[in-house]
Structures are given as C-alpha cells and as structure tokens.
Structure 1
Amino acid sequence: MTSYQIWQNDKTLINDLQDVEAMIDQHIRIKNKHIEAQIKKVTNNHGKMLRPVFVLLTSQIGNQYNREKAIAFAAALETLHMATLVHDDVIDQADTRRQISTLHTVKDNRYAIYAGDYLFSICFNMLSKYTEELNLLNYNARSMEKVLIGELDQLESRFTPPKSVKSYLSRISGKTAQLFAVSCYTGATESGASLRDRQRAYNMGKYIGMAFQIIDDILDVEGDEKNVGKPVMADIRQGIYTLPLIYSYQQQPETVGALLDKATPFSDDTIAQLKSAIDKTGGVLAAQKLATRYTKKALIVLNKLPDGDYKTTLKHIITDMLARTL
C-alpha cells in the first residue's frame, strides 16, 4: 500500500485514498494473471492522486455526502487519468514514469495501448455502477472527449513555432484542466449540490487545472528529474512547446526561432541554449505570474462555495500547488 506523505496531517483523507486505491485494484480482474499484474503495476505507481482528492473533497459540498460513492467516483477519475498517462508514455516514447519503467518499454506499444483502453473501460464501469444520474455519465463521456481532443491537438502541434499563448491555453484547457474540472464537478453533483454550486466546482477545477499545467511546464524547465519524475526539458525535446518557451519566443523570435529550426531530435547543446534563452527572457517568471492568476481565480470561486471543513483543505492544496510544494 502506498504511503501518502503529503496528506500525512489528514488521516481521513489518507484512509479514503487507500480505499480508492483498493477499489481500483479490485476492479482490475483479468484471467491472464501476468497481464493483470502488469496493469496493476501501472496503477500502483500513481503520484499524489490529486484528482481523486478533489472528488473526495467536493463530494462534501452538498448535503447528500455518501462515502462509498465518493470513493467510487474518485477511483473512476483516477483510473481515467492513469489511462491517459499510459497512452501519453507511448506517444512520448518515455522510458520511465516516476522512476519506474513504462509499460510500453516492458512489453511493447500495442500492449500498452490496449492496457490504456482497458483502464478507460474500468473507469466507466465504476461510474455506471455507482450513479443513477444518466446526465453525469454523459458529462463524463463528453469530458473524456475533450481530454482526448486536447491530446490530439498537442500531438498535431508538435514542433510548430510557439507563437500563440491563446492556442496553448486552449490546448491545456482540454488536455489537463478538463480532468480537474470534471473531478470537482462529479464530486459536487453526487453530493446533491445546487446547479450553481456544481458550476462553481467545475470552474474552480478548471482554474486549478490550468495553474497545475503551467506549473508543470515550469518544472519541466527548471525542476529536477527526481522530483518531477521525468528528464528536465523533456517536453521541449518532444516538440511540445510549453508556456515559458512561448514567452521566450515572443521576446526573441529570431534567436529562439533559429534554435527551434535546428534538426530534431534536438541535441543537448540546442536544449541548453533554449534553456538559457528562457532564463534570459524571463519566460519562467511570466509563466509563474499567469499560474498565480489562475490560482487566485480558483480561490475566489472556492470562497463562494458552501462553508465546511473541506474548504480549508482545498485552500491549502490550491496554494501549495502554486508554491510547487505539492
């Protein structure tokens, strides 16, 4: 069982997350035990479990809190997240995730893609088993569509000159922020929250997700592999031009553009020069300012939600995410 050091001061949350993990494990049932073990190795290699945390906390917004349902929906959304990661690793040809060999390197691409598809099916199996609200199933299906469109947009835009902040924000709105938004919306809906509070929960999750992805992009530039779980500048090496680089390109289009026009895959020297350009043009600082704006928006929406202990926990999580201590 995984230890959740970042939630160590909240024993209730730790217990809930352990039950989320157990429920995911229980739903992975394959006759071929070798395949089952490989997939469970992936699901056990989770990170901070932020998305299920948001489901669990927003499930306390309304007056119909049901712990069993909250655990189930948290497990479903985490399984959906894991499915996207398995596919991401294939597309990125990433050798490791959180210092563990990725599934496609242990087996092959086809094996990993089918495993990711299987996790998608597990997600909707749990959702359908625990909800009586057809609209929520439809909502999750549409959200999954937006996530996948965001992934396709990112794939299509690889190695494309990073000129537009607007197009970047549109991409991460689907790719990353949508899953945070649907996590908060799902929790609020199943708690019996009002339509207004469901929408507020959704908006809060969207802002959280936008800030989260921008911070992730910052860590890609200036973090370290041990903490980030992937090599520094990994996204840029893959032709995914993130916000710090976009800001840098806008400041020095000729210099940065010339570096991006070099043969791919980029050499270590080119990557070092791009890192230097980002540092000189203040790309990270500009990205940090935008992350701060989205974080403030999330906190403003949070303050409008009904009172409860969950709000204090959410406030700490949101601010810790901005400070990159979470």
Structure 2
Amino acid sequence: MNNTKQHRKYPLIAKELDLVNNCIDKTIQTKHTALQSALITMANNGGKYLRPSLLILSAKATKGEVTDKVIKLASAIEVLHMATLIHDDIIDDSNKRRGEISIQSKFGKDTAVYAGDLLFTNFFDLMLQTTDEHEYLVENAKTMRAVLNGELGQMKERFNIHQSLNDYIEDVKGKTAALFRLAAKEGAYFGGQTQYAQTMADFGENLGIAFQIIDDILDYTGSKKLNKPMLEDLTTGVYSLPLLLALKNENCYQKLAPILNKKYQMSKKDIEQIQEIILNSSAIQQSRQLALQYSQNALNSLEQLPKNPATKLLTKITKELLNRNM
C-alpha cells in the first residue's frame, strides 16, 4: 500500500500512520487471487486515512498512549470503512471511487461482494486481537448497526421530496458520522484516558455530520461540470441537504418537483436544471450554516481537552474539512 502523501500531510502522526498502513497490508492478505487483487486495488486507491488519523490524534490529544492496541484499532476502523465503500459502490452501481475505477466495476459484483465481506471479517479479527472488553465489542457492533440503519434510512427515503431535515440528519449520523464517532471515542478510551471518551465521541459525531454536509454542498458547487456522484444520487432518488432545503422553499419546490417526479427518467439536462435552481437559491448558504453549526459543536468539544500539538492538529483538521474546496 502507498499512502505516504497523506502521511506527510500530518507529520505529527506520520510514524503511526505508517504502522497502520503496514497493519492493513498484512490484514488483507488472502490466498484467493481475485480477492487479493481487489483488496490491494482498493487499499491503493488513495484513501485519506481520516478515520485512523482521528483515532490516533484522539489518543494523543487526551494525553493517552499510542500503543499497538491503538494502531490495530485505527487499522480496524479503516478496514471497516473500506468494506462499507465497496458495498456502497455495488448498491449504487458506481463506476468510480476516489477518481479510480471502482472494485465492482473492475472486478465484477461477485468479487466486490466477497471482498467487502472479507474486509468485515478482517475488521472483527483485528477487534478480537485488540480487546475482550464486552462494552467496546458492543460499541463496535452498535456502530455497524448504525451505519446499516443510516443506509436503510436513506433507502427508505428514496424519491421522497417531503423528506424531513431531521430524517436526513439521523441517516447521516449513521452512514457517515458513526465511524467518526467511534474513531474519536476509541482513541481516547484505549489511549488510557477514559474520562475523555464521551467528549471525543461528541466531537467525532459532530465532525462527521459537518463533513457529510460539506460533501453534499460540493456536489453542487465543486465544479462547473456535473459531479458524477451527484448525478447518480439524484437519478436513484437520494436527495442531499441542499436539495432538501431548496424543496422547503415554495418557489423552488414548484420548479423542482416536476423534474424530480421523473425519477429514473431524469436526463442530464434535468440534472443541470436542478443544479441551476439550487445554486440560484439560498439552499447552499443554509447548508453551509448548518455545517458551520456542527463544526462549531466539534470545536467546542476540543476546547475541553488538554492543550497540546494533537489538539491543535484536530482543530486544524476540523476547520480544513469545513473549508475544503469552498
């Protein structure tokens, strides 16, 4: 695996991320050739290691120790994240992931399903090597359930132009924020500073929600060209925050509803029209304000931590995620 570029971005934890990289490399080995090729391809596709970074930094920020146990937990959470991405691409029939050909597109759906399943098994292997604490085995099982429930909630709301903002946030808490929450909480707890575990859990959840909202905004504003995932999401009935907020405006609703009611029959021209309506509304600014609110909640949690280089870096990462490509 080669993630040195990301490691250089955070020199404070470069050594620890190299250890995570090595651990994942060893963990995803399998005698099944097709699966091995798929897993190596996924691992090499430029993951940012954000969740492992949050886990390690949470241990350091709370003045805990980055032990071998912490490294394995950081590796486990990235393996779990990789598994969810592979399965997401299968469900969405996505051809691309991180700018590269997706696993399901390159190796076929069968291999992709097995690769995702094997990564889930790898995740539990790493967990069992790390802890026999019932509370945190349950915590990890709850996180997996939260991720699934978030995806199921999103599926339930497909093509629902009346979806509530509360339902949207609840789904985001599962499909995106749950792994952020787990990473930050485990970093503090297994770093040995259990008194900060809940503070870091709150930090991670708020950061994860802000992260997803910014992703939603970038679908519409990141480029003048249509964002491929946005096009796929709209035509499969997955409506993100800017669209949901625009639909709350009566004038925008009147323009958007007839287009959205075409569902799978929406054309590229229809998608471009939706993008134009949203960019000309207040929905992007409203979305950004909500992201700012959750980001500030995350920063408020960090204020409760000891002042040190890791806390400073977590603060910087939080602000960078809010302002990326904006």
For the aligned pair, the TM-score class normalised by the smaller chain equals over 0.9
Secondary structure (helix, strand or coil) at the match of 1:304 reads: coil
Aligned equivalents of 1:265, 1:60: Cα separation in 2: 51
Q: Which residue of 1 aligns with 2:211?
A: 212
Contact 2:3-2:47 within 8 A present in 1 as well? no
Amino acid at match of 2:171: R
Residue 199 of structure 2 corresponds to which residue in structure 1?
200
Where does residue 72 of structure 1 map in the other structure? 72
2 CA distance for matches of 1:310 and 1:221?
A: 33
Partner residue in 1 for 2:45: 45
Structural RMSD (CA): 2.1
Would you say the 8 A contact 2:56–2:66 is kept in 1?
Answer: no
Structure 1: which amino acid aligns with 2:87?
H
Which of 236, 242, 262 is 2:240 aligned to? 242
AA at the equivalent of 1:264: Y
CA contact (8 A) 2:182 2:204 kept: yes
Alignment of 1:269-308 (within 5 A): 269-308=269-308
Which letter does structure 2 place at the counterpart of 1:215? I
Q: 1:14 to 1:218 in 2, by over 3 A?
A: same
Distance 1:45 1:201 in 2: 29
2:166 aligned partner, one-letter code: K
Find the residue that maps to 1:121 and give its secondary structure. helix
Q: CA deviation at 1:102?
A: 1.2
- Distance apart, 1:133 and its partner CA: 2.2
Once residues 53 and 179 of structure 1 are traced to their aligned partners in structure 2, the CA distance between those partners, rounded to angstroms, is: 12
Q: Does 1:222 align with 2:218?
A: no
Match of 2:19 in 1: 19
Aligned-partner SS, 2:303: helix
Q: Which residue of 2 aligns with 1:266?
A: 266
Counterpart CA distance in 1 for 2:325 and 2:3 is 17
Q: CA deviation at 1:62?
A: 4.4
Distance 1:244 1:187 in 2: 33
Task: Mark the CA change 1:233 to 1:4 in structure 2 (over 3 Å): closer, same or farther.
Answer: farther
Supply the distance in 2 between the matched residues of 1:265 and 1:127 (Cα, whole angstroms).
44
TM-score by length of 1: 0.93
Q: Taking structure 1 as reference, are residues 285 and 256 closer, same or farther at Cα in structure 2, changes over 3 Å only?
A: same
Q: Note if 1:254 corresponds to 2:249.
A: no
Q: Tell me how far 1:63 sits from its aligned partner.
A: 5.0
For residues 137 and 225 of structure 1, do their structure 2 counterparts lie closer, same or farther at Cα, with a shift above 3 Å needed? farther
Residues 8-57 of structure 1: CA deviation (Å, up to 9, x unaligned): 35424222222212111101221123321221111221421110100010
Larger deviation: 179-188 or 68-77?
68-77
- Partners of 2:42 and 2:111 lie apart in 1 by 13
Over 3 Å counting, the alpha-carbon distance change for 1:295 and 1:261 in structure 2 is: same
Unaligned runs of 5+ residues in structure 2 are: none
1:136 deviates by 1.1
Comparing 44-53 and 180-189, the one that deviates more: 44-53
* Alpha-carbon spacing, 1:265–1:50, altered in 2? closer, same or farther (3 Å): farther
- More moved, 11-20 vs 88-97: 11-20
| Aligned residue identity for 2:297 | K
- C-alpha distance in 2, partners of 1:255/1:20? 49
- Are residues 63 and 324 of structure 1, via their aligned partners in 2, closer, same or farther at CA, if it must alter by over 3 Å? closer
1:183 aligns with 2:179: no
The one-letter code matched in structure 2 to 1:238 is T
How far is the alpha carbon of 1:134 from its aligned partner? 2.5
Aligned equivalents of 1:113, 1:323: Cα separation in 2: 35
Question: How many residue pairs end up in the alignment?
Answer: 324
Q: Measure, in 1, the Cα distance between the counterparts of 2:288 and 2:175.
A: 19
Describe the shift of the 1:263–1:322 C-alpha distance in structure 2 as closer, same or farther (beyond 3 A): closer
Partner SS state of residue 2, structure 2 = coil
User: Quick check: 174-183 or 231-240, which moved more?
Assistant: 231-240
Q: CA offset at residue 162 of structure 1?
A: 4.2
- The answer (yes or no) to whether the contact 1:220–1:235 under 8 Å persists in 2 is no
Q: Percent identity?
A: 33
Q: Report the more deviating stretch, 32-41 or 248-257.
A: 32-41
User: What does 1:315-326 correspond to in 2, within 5 Å?
Assistant: 315-325=315-325
* CA displacement, residues 81-120 of structure 1 (integer Å, 9 cap, x when unaligned): 1100000000110001122211111232232112111101
Q: Determine if contact 1:235/1:241 at 8 Å carries over to the other structure.
A: yes
CA distance in 1 between counterparts of 2:95 and 2:2 reads 22
How many Å separate the matches in 2 of 1:270 and 1:321?
30
Match of 1:311 in 2: 311
8 Å contact kept, 1:143–1:179:
yes
CA contact (8 A) 1:221 1:233 kept: no
In structure 1, stretches of 5+ residues that fail to align are: none
